[in-house]
Structure 1
Amino acid sequence: MITRRYYEKHSPLCRRRQVIAAILHLVHVYLTDRYRRWQWVAWVSGIVLLGALWVTGVVGYWMVWDQRAQMIADLTARFLDYLPIFGESLSMSFSRNNLITNFFFFVALFVHLMVPVLLFIALWIHVVRISKPIINPPKIIATIIVFIIITVAVIKPATSLLPANANKIISKIGIDWFYLFFYPMFNALPTWLSWVIVTGSTLFLTIAPWLAWRMGKGWRIIYI
């Protein structure tokens, strides 16, 4: 119980901090033009890191298994059902309470723990070609960040919704726009269109450095 309460209270805030830091780092690298030549490896691996960070955050919501987690799991299953690699419909697994077994939570826990391991591998690739990479912030900045996180967690802790119940239809839930920004789209658009948007956005973000836009000059290809 103590572990779950601590997880519910502190984990969402820590995950949001990671997303903010990753996005700010991405924007900084792009604006400072530090992605050319051999540094393209850092850029592409950074996109992989961002995706892995998003996956582990989404799966982290499943661990609480409240109404928000139920809706996330259902929409994720419907999104993945579009791929012809699954023999049975994944979304049917969340249609009734008796179909949700401990195996699902075991898989969720496995993914939630293994993806961070892959994150460390991707992080090594991310910095391996950079001389003297600076990963940790100065102590004063790190201290201030930790203080702010603890203060916000105490003043406004994250709370869970009602326990998940697959036998009831969820009409409306709150959403974490740091991690769950794709899910309103999953719910409103056809699955094929959601796949087009997600795939297109990822591809565009990956090749963005090679397609630098200059006002009045059209597209400029950066050769590496």
Structure 2
Amino acid sequence: MSSRPQSPQESLTPKARIVLYWMDLAGVAVFAISGALAAMQARLDLFGVLVLAAITAIGGGTLRDLLLGRHPIFWMRDTRYIKVIGLTALFTALLANSWGHLLATGNGALVIADTLGLALFALCGAEIAEEAGKSRLVVVLLGTITASGGGVMRDLLTSQVPLLLRRDIYASAAIGGIAGYLALRALGLPRQAAFIAGMLMVVALRLAALRYGWQLPAPQLSS
């Protein structure tokens, strides 16, 4: 099997790209809420809330574009991303006291939305790397960076061990979904169908891990 993905000439349909674009904005909003909540838990001021919301929402995609040499970076080409982040962060800050239970990180609806955002970012990042002609390994890595890079930056800035480095099935769910997408593409499945299947794999892995308490093994040093 070739070490490179199939030719990117077969792309998603224009209609599918429009749907994915609006889903992408929704995913940015969900991740911005996550960053804003982390900033408030760390007792940062309003500017800190906005900064952390932005870093969480677009940090991974920014790192991906820098590594691929894509200029201008996606949020510089389309400022809707920044506008969505700003409005979402302000909305979260204003409603945190009165509707805090709805915005809590353990809220079921927010967990599902976060999982959908993870899946979408992972597969979008993978597709961008694939269209750039990168090897399958690089496609997996850049898709995972797109999905979880912002969360790593958020955790580091709030003095937390990044979720990526804990036992949680999070980045590993993204890796599994991207690997599934590439496997289906190698078997000849059309890109759009493989993309959807890859997203469903990420969602299934993440939600099953949360439901059944699945965790990766954590090697321990003997005392």
Query: Normalising by structure 1, what TM-score?
Result: 0.29
- The structure number with the bigger radius of gyration is 1
Between Structure 1 and Structure 2, which shows a larger proportion of helix residues? 2
The structure, 1 or 2, with the larger RCO (C-alpha pairs under 8 Å, 6+ apart) is: 1
Query: Normalising by structure 2, what TM-score?
Result: 0.29
